[in-house]
Amino acid sequence: MRSPAVAPQSAASTPRSPCTGETKSGAACQAFALPGRPFCLTHDPDRAADATAARSKGAAVSNRLRSIEGKRQKLDTVSALVEFTGGVIQDVLEGTVLPDVARVCLYGVSIQRQLLEASDLEQRLAALEAREPAQHPQKGQHQWGR
């Protein structure tokens, strides 16, 4: 007879103790301690080099993301979408962009085009409504009697 299967405990279900370290202001640290240790990664004196490396890696990723932000193309006109689409196609043909990545980009371009068209129609309708006052007949008058 087999014993009942017991699901292994995940890391999330095991109890975690709080870090016993203090912040620079003297308050208790709110992070969880590392398994089998009284401190979190930031406050563990034996892992100071690891903490420094993690901070350095985080700063590098953050700086890279900030530099990309300023270089993103604005895809808010049809001509910008056409230019971007042509670039994606060329990049796939050159092999610098994977076809799956290109497929996702071109799907996004399709959605952006639909949003631009809807926005354009909305603006044109608002301009027409502003130019033409309401042409509804007054109560008691017929439209052809004017």
Q: Are residues 48 and 85 in the same domain?
A: no
Domain that holds residue 107: 73-131
Read off the pLDDT of each residue in 111-127 and give the average, rounded to a whole number: 91
* Co-location of 66 and 97 in the same domain: no
Single residue among 72, 93, 108 that ends a domain in this structure = 72
Tell me the whole-structure pTM to 2 decimals.
0.42
Who contacts 96 (Cβ-Cβ below 8 Å, separation ≥6)?
Answer: none
* Same domain membership, residue 87 and residue 63: no
pLDDT at 105: 92
The H-or-E segment that residue 58 falls in is helix 48-69
Residues 52 and 101 in one domain: no
146 within domain boundaries: no
23 and 59 in a single domain? The answer is yes
Instruction: Tell me what the mean pLDDT of segment 93-97 comes to.
Output: 93
Q: At which residue do the structure tokens 């620079």 appear?
A: 24
89 belongs to a structural domain? yes
pLDDT band at 100 (very low <50, low <70, confident <90, very high): very high
Domain count, the chain: 2
144 within some domain: no
Q: Is residue 145 part of a domain?
A: no
pLDDT tens for 13-60 read: 567 888 988 888 889 999 888 888 898 888 888 888 888 888 888 877
pLDDT at 63 over 80: no
Residues whose CB falls within 8 Å of the CB of residue 65, separated by 6 or more in sequence, listed in order: none
One domain, residues 98 and 118: yes
Distance separating alpha carbons of residues 98 and 91, to the nearest angstrom = 8
What percent of the chain lies above the pLDDT cut of 70? Answer: 77
Name the nearest CA neighbour of 44 among 63, 74, 19: 19
- With a cut of 80, say whether residue 137 has pLDDT above it: no
Tokens 């370290």 — which residue?
A: 21
Residues 65 and 79 in one domain: no
Residue 79 lies in a domain: yes
Same-domain check for residues 88 and 126:
yes
State the distance between the two ends of the chain, measured CA to CA, in whole angstroms.
Answer: 97
Q: How many CB atoms lie within 10 A of CB 48?
A: 12
Looking at the fold, whether 88 and 42 belong to one and the same domain comes out as: no
Q: Which of 117, 108, 107, 104 is nearest to 78 (CA)?
A: 117
